[in-house]
Amino acid sequence: MSSATFDDSVTGKVTGARSEPPRLATAETKVHRLKHPSWWVGGAAVLILIGTFLRLLFTNENMKWDVVGDYLFHGEILHGLWVTIKLTALAMVIGLGLGIVLAIMRLSKNPLFQSVSWLWIWFFRGVPPLVQMVFWFNLATLIPEVRLGIPFTDVVWHTWDMNSLMTSFAAAILGLALTESAYAAEMIRAGIMAVPRGQVEAAAALGIPGRKVMQRIVLPQALRIVIPPIGNDLISMLKFTSLVSVLATPDLLYSAQMIYSRNYQTIPLLIVATLWYLVLTTLFTVVQQSVERKVHHKPLLQVNRLGFNPFRSGKVVP
């Protein structure tokens, strides 16, 4: 019995019956690759759409590219651009700072800290930033003045007028920063939990005090893990600063709106704003990628990026 018949008995196929050797491909054999006609059909459709869009972009007279050019570096627009950058940076810094504190509170053993942090995140993730901004701006109606003194007594050292304190810029920062703090807290918490618990024990066994364990071992690694979602948030924040136009804060969008309310060149000025937002977003993306490359010698852990966008409604994680 040959080995071929042994295989036959297993597979049930009759392979021993071949009388001639099988044909083998040689270097000269011509090979026909599989064609993909649907690629060409789909591609053609997309090309037609792109062409139509480009024609709209460059031949539609209402686009008024010359007006766009005139206003691209207009003083008011550049000032608005600067306000937008300031808003983004301040809201991000305050939001992240609060987020770190909230994340640590959420992970603390103290049930009061845990629940305060939970409530904060629940509230500021639940209320739209636009609603918050308008609310903060009108805070004087609720609390006319701010007093510094000893609570529940008549001792007052200083009083401020809420209306002069809560400028539209301050209200805008509050609305954006508090929303960001809730989202930042959740992602930083995820980052902290991703740092292996054993490292904290090792640090404790070495006699490193708890506060320094957090500062020198846990947070550096947690923040490294959350750099991609933070970069994501930064870009979202940039775009959502445009909400402040409702408070008449002269950011990029509001500056453009003010100009077109005077000269009725609505579309060209919106294009100016659009171009600047795209420039900033591209810049942030480049910076984010280079930072990521620098600190991520190797991705430590993959953190789910979904649900970290502050202004997209996401599932509330209790």
Which CB, 156 or 204, lies closer to other proteins? 204
CB of 97 to other proteins, least distance (A): 21
Contact 275, 267 (CB under 8 A): no
CB of 301 to other proteins, least distance (A): 10
Which CB, 23 or 298, lies closer to other proteins? 298
Quick one: which H or E segment has residue 148?
A: strand 145-149
CB of 296 to other proteins, least distance (A): 11
Which CB, 51 or 220, lies closer to other proteins? 220
CB of 64 to other proteins, least distance (A): 53
Dihedral sign for Cα atoms in the order 122, 146, 94, 257: positive
CB of 210 to other proteins, least distance (A): 6
Which CB, 125 or 224, lies closer to other proteins? 224
Residues that bind other proteins (CB under 8 A): 195-196, 198-199, 201-210, 212, 216-217, 220-221, 224, 297-298, 300
CA-based nearest residue to 146, from 161, 135, 163, 124: 161
CB of 104 to other proteins, least distance (A): 16
Give whole-number Cα distances, 312 to 12, 58, 126, in Å: 59, 33, 11
Cβ atoms within 10 Å, residue 179: 25
Find all residues with CB under 8 Å of 120, minimum gap 6, and list them.
102, 181, 182, 185
At 151, is the secondary structure helix, strand, or coil? coil
Which CB, 25 or 206, lies closer to other proteins? 206
CB of 103 to other proteins, least distance (A): 18
Which CB, 116 or 200, lies closer to other proteins? 200
Which CB, 12 or 198, lies closer to other proteins? 198
Token pair 């930042």: residue: 184
Find all residues with CB under 8 Å of 87, minimum gap 6, and list them.
169, 172, 173, 176, 241, 244, 249, 251
Which CB, 50 or 202, lies closer to other proteins? 202
Quick one: which H or E segment has residue 156?
A: strand 156-161
One-letter amino acid for residue 211 of the chain:
R
Between strands 145-149 and 156-161, the pairing is antiparallel
Lookup: tokens for 8: 């036959």
CB of 96 to other proteins, least distance (A): 19
Quick one: which H or E segment has residue 179?
A: helix 168-194
